[in-house]
């Protein structure tokens, strides 16, 4: 497997190579269009000075003269009157001139090998140690016309500079390679830590303790990863608690059903007692059915992107329907109802909002004392909102319990009403539905006096 570290190092090497090639091409183009002609002109001026100096002093020995000139840092290729050629200074490594090119110079022409010869890469051609890469001019000698071809001896003139530049470039590349190798580890290290942390999370260990103290994108990633790990841990803890609570809520009625069913099958007790056993079985079955319905409702509400089926309807009529549906419950406890339900239109999910009123009213009925009072009122909530207030005269909720009553499976102090039973999901469903409608639910309670739930919702 090609690691991130390997990829970073290879990428650096490739970038350096591509940059070098691109720089070479760019410099070559610049040399061709800006410097090549000027460079040849300078060499041509030097050649003409060599030519003029000799022609002004024809008594000089030509071989000795050209040997001394070459010693000053030039390479010279000369063709004498007798047609023989000689090289002065460092030898040319390759390349010859055609007879026509030499004859043209002997006839008085000038050879422009530096500027006019076509080459694929002009910058490298500047360093080409070839007779073709020279400037040529005629030279009058006592023996007759000669041809003189001159170029700078770069190895002699700038040989040390070339070595220095080469060492500098190679050294820079080598040091850069070492530094990128070291710095890549600095970059890759937190990524490896994140990888190890991911494996630990997969194994169920959420105490990852990332120690990435960097203030960059990787540092931000590590911080977000730590927050994600904590969120997953909390989610897993809630899931485990949820499973445990559901298991407990299901196990209790199942145990009752199994026990009383066995008693009825074995004929235990009097007929009246067995009738009571069957009643318990029926009630516990209803409880299981209500629990499964609430769990399905929560699953829908928790689903990401849960959509509301909004319609416009009369809120006051829906509340009256909920009151009628629960009539047998509040009548059984001889509760008085105080209603203040003016005509009110609202745009909401009718079915889900109906669940809100059923849960809140059932709670109020369940925890109200016999012959108590339940008040239901619709009021203006301000800023295009409507408020529904449901008040009971029960034992109230302890102040210490109020922050937790909307949590799933939370049940208030059983001393509030020892005869009441429930799953602890009703208020959680209420809170979730109201939140989906962008509303809010508030509660205030006074021990021994009662509890008031206020639901505020947008009208449209």
| Dihedral sign from CA coordinates of 273, 275, 276, 280 | positive
Burial 257-289 (b: 16+ CB within 10 A, else e): beebeebbeeeeeeeeebeebeebbeebeebbe
pTM over 0.75: no
Residue pLDDT, tens place only, 176-187? 888 887 877 777
pLDDT value for 137: 92
State the Cα–Cα distance between residues 456 and 460, nearest whole angstrom. 12
- Residue 67 near residue 102 (C-beta atoms within 8 A): no
Q: Which of 396, 375, 409, 394 is nearest to 444 (CA)?
A: 396
Residue pLDDT, tens place only, 25-82? 787 777 677 777 788 888 889 889 998 998 888 888 888 999 999 888 899 999 988 8
Q: How far is CA 36 from CA 39, 78, 101, 118, 133, in A?
A: 5, 23, 21, 12, 12
Show the tokens assigned to 192: 């490896």
Q: How far is CA 228 from CA 194, 214, 221, in A?
A: 12, 18, 10
| Residue 434 CB neighbour total at 10 angstroms | 20
Query: Which residues have CB under 8 Å from 411's CB, separation 6+?
Result: 422, 424
Tell me the Ramachandran region of residue 117: left when phi exceeds 0, alpha when psi lies from -120 to 50, beta otherwise. beta
- The arrangement of secondary structure in 310-458, i.e. its CATH architecture, is 2-Layer Sandwich (3.30)
Residue pLDDT, tens place only, 277-335? 888 888 888 777 877 777 777 777 776 666 788 899 999 999 999 898 888 888 888 89
pLDDT at 173 over 70: yes
At 412, the pLDDT band (50, 70, 90 cuts) reads low
State the Cα–Cα distance between residues 116 and 97, nearest whole angstrom. 14
State the Cα–Cα distance between residues 443 and 448, nearest whole angstrom. 15
Q: How far is CA 216 from CA 190, 221, 222, in A?
A: 12, 9, 10
List the end-to-end C-alpha distance of the chain, in Å, as a whole number. 58
State the Cα–Cα distance between residues 342 and 314, nearest whole angstrom. 10
| Residue 390 CB neighbour total at 10 angstroms | 21
State the Cα–Cα distance between residues 231 and 224, nearest whole angstrom. 10
Candidate ranges 256-260, 295-299, 423-427; pick with highest mean pLDDT: 256-260
H helices, E strands: number in the chain: 14, 12
HSE (side-chain half, CA atoms, 13 Å) at 327: 4
Beta bridge partners of 389: 377, 454
């Amino acid at each position: 497997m090609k690691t991130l570290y390997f990829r970073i190092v290879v990428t650096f090497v490739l970038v350096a190579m591509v940059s070098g090639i691109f720089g070479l091409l760019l410099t070559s183009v610049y040399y061709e269009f800006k410097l090549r002609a000027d460079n040849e002109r300078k060499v041509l001026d030097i050649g003409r000075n060599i030519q003029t100096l000799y022609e002004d002093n024809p008594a000089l020995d030509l071989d000795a003269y050209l040997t001394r000139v070459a010693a000053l840092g030039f390479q010279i290729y000369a063709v004498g009157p007798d047609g023989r050629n000689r090289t002065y200074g460092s030898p040319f490594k390759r390349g010859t001139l055609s007879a026509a090119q030499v004859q043209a110079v002997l006839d008085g022409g000038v050879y422009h090998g530096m500027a006019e010869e076509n080459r694929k890469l002009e910058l490298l051609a500047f360093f080409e140690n070839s007779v073709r890469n020279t400037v040529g001019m005629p030279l009058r000698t006592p023996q007759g016309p000669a041809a003189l071809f001159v170029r700078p001896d770069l190895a002699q003139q700038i040989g040390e500079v070339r070595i220095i530049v080469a060492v500098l470039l190679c050294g820079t590349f080598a040091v850069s390679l070492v530094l990128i190798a070291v710095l890549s580890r600095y970059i890759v290290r937190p990524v490896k830590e994140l990888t190890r942390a991911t494996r630990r999370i997969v194994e169920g260990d959420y105490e990852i303790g990332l120690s990435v103290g960097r203030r960059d994108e990787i540092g931000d990633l590590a911080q977000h990863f730590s927050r994600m790990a904590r969120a997953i841990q909390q989610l897993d803890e809630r899931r485990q608690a949820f499973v445990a609570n559901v298991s407990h809520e299901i196990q209790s009625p199942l145990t009752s059903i199994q026990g009383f069913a066995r008693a009825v099958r074995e004929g235990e007790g009097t007929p009246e007692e067995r009738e009571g056993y069957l009643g318990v079985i029926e009630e516990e079955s209803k409880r299981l059915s209500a629990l499964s319905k609430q769990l399905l409702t929560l699953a829908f509400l928790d689903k990401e992107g849960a959509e509301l089926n909004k319609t416009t309807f009369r809120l006051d009529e829906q509340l009256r329907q909920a009151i009628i549906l629960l009539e047998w419950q509040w009548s059984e406890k001889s509760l008085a109802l105080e209603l203040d339900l003016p005509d009110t239109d609202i745009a909401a999910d009718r079915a889900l909002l109906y669940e809100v009123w059923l849960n809140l009213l059932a709670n109020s009925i369940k925890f109200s004392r016999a012959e108590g009072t339940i008040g239901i009122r619709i009021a203006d909530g301000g800023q295009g909102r409507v408020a529904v207030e449901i008040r009971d005269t029960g034992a109230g909720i302890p102040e210490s319990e109020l922050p937790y009553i909307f949590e799933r499976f939370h049940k208030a102090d059983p001393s509030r009403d020892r005869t009441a039973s429930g799953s602890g999901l009703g208020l959680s469903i209420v809170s979730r539905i109201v939140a989906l409608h962008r509303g809010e639910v508030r509660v205030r309670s006074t021990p021994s006096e009662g509890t008031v739930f206020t639901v505020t919702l947008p009208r449209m």
